[in-house]
């Protein structure tokens, strides 16, 4: 996994997402989800290419049910973009890189 992508937990989520100077894209995922694995390399590319403009983090839903429930995630992969700690955009399901970038471009 890219060094730029950190994994958050129920314990670290709020503080990390609020403290970030740039928008944070949270990848809600699980080991058993095929489409989640498919978008992993796409997210790594975006993290490298857009370094300094956006931070990408992962949240394993199996281990972190509090945050998962709080944001009412009901399908994975779900990506939620946070700005100043507030959710701005929610993307459900795996998408190609171009479509992902287009959806979040307004926040970069």
Encoded tokens for 44: 């790594």
Measured distance between the N- and C-terminal CA atoms of the chain, rounded to whole angstroms: 22
33 belongs to the catalytic site: yes
Q: How far is the CB of 68 from other proteins (least distance, A)?
A: 8
34-49 helix and 97-104 helix, angle to the nearest 10 degrees:
60
90 belongs to the catalytic site: no
Q: In this complex, which beta carbon is closest to other proteins, that of residue 36 or of residue 57?
A: 36
- How many other C-beta atoms lie within 10 A of the C-beta of residue 77? 24
Q: How far is the CB of 15 from other proteins (least distance, A)?
A: 26
* Catalytically annotated residue among 6, 30, 33, 101: 33
Q: In this complex, which beta carbon is closest to other proteins, that of residue 4 or of residue 37?
A: 37
Cα 35 to chain centroid distance, Å, stands at 14
Q: Which stretches of the chain bind other proteins, using CB under 8 A?
A: 30, 32-39, 42, 61-62, 72-78, 92-97
Any idea which residues carry the catalytic annotation? 33, 36
């Amino acid at each position: 996994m890219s060094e730029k992508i950190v994994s958050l937990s129920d314990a670290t989520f709020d503080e990390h997402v609020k403290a970030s100077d740039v928008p944070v894209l949270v990848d809600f995922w699980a080991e058993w989800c095929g489409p989640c694995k498919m978008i992993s390399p796409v997210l790594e590319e975006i993290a490298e290419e857009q370094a300094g403009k956006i931070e990408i983090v992962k949240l394993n839903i199996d281990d972190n049910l509090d945050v998962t429930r709080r944001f009412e995630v009901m399908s994975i992969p779900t990506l939620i973009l946070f700005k100043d700690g507030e959710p701005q955009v929610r993307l459900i399901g795996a998408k190609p890189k171009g479509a992902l970038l287009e959806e979040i471009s307004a926040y970069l």
